[in-house]
Amino acid sequence: MNTPISSSTFKRSVWLEKHPKLGISLMDHLFNRLDGAYPNRWRASFQSKQAIANWRDTWSEAFEEEGVTTQIISDALRVCRRTCDWPPSLPQFLKACKPALDVDAALYEAIDQMRARQHGRDQWTDPAIFWAAARVGEYDLISQTFTALKPRFEAALKKVLDGGGIQPVPARVPALQGPSAAESTREYGRQRLDELNAADVIKNVSKRGNLDWAYRTIEDEKATGKVPLNKLTIARHAIFNVTGEQV
């Protein structure tokens, strides 16, 4: 870059500081790389020095939030050169920073980690895999074959990735455990529902969707303790399959 552009960012970022080896900031270096990859097209997008400063602030902030590293930037530039005829927007560049997930590997992970999640030992390499698994459903992932699951999981993963705003993997609420010899199934079930505070889950109207019947089942169990165990189990599975909640 011929003339350094001053940034308006009030909180300095490592991306905006002068790099000791480059002699310019990492953002200036990225600007130059994109200008070289898209001669005329890239620089033409900026009509003023302030426009460049705004670009630097916005992109560096996104890199900080997304945990982007210099190696990731190098990989993303290669992806852009192969796939983008025009200079990438920020969302496009951030997508290039994230390598495409291997569906087969992601599904194997989903199956293994859903089993481990039953015991609170799940570890996910990417939260998108968890949310795709939640869309398919814990019971189906554990009970169905890989071949049967793959098209459903692939479609679920695509929806999760396309939707953006992927949330972290939530902590699993302990599942109902079997009663001891001194407790009846019904008494133990009512006790555990109290411990899980099912009423708070029921009040979360924003997540109900078409699951009112399932939440009513949980509510009836808490109030009466007379809901058949199989009906209660179906309701809990339905809630988890749609929302990822354990109730």
pLDDT of res. 93? 93
Instruction: Return the domain boundaries, the chain.
Output: 26-97, 103-163, 185-243
The whole-chain average pLDDT of the chain stands at 79
**What's residue 118's pLDDT?**
86
Render pLDDT for 189-202 as a digit per residue (tens, 0 to 9).
555 554 444 444 44
SS (H, E, C) the chain: CCCCCCCCCCCCCCCCCECCCCCCEHHHHHHHHHHHHCCCCCHHHCCCHHHHHHHHHHHHHHHHHHCCCHHHHHHHHHHHHHHCCCCCCHHHHHHHHCCCCCHHHHHHHHHHHHHHHCCCCCCCCCHHHHHHHHHHCHHHHHHCCHHHHHHHHHHHHHHHHHHCCCCCCCCCCCCCCCCCCCCCHHHHHHHHHHHHCHHHHHCCHHHCCCCHHHHHHHHHHHHHCCCCHHHHHHHHHHHHHHHCCCC
pLDDT at 190: 53
Q: Is the pLDDT of residue 207 over 90?
A: no
Query: Which of 15 and 233 is assigned the larger pLDDT?
Result: 15
Most confident of 29-33, 83-87, 114-118, 190-194: 29-33
Could you give the percent of the chain with pLDDT greater than 90? 39
Region at 204 (left for phi over 0; alpha for psi -120 to 50; beta for the rest) = beta
Structural tokens at position 175: 């599942």
- Write down the pTM of the prediction: 0.46
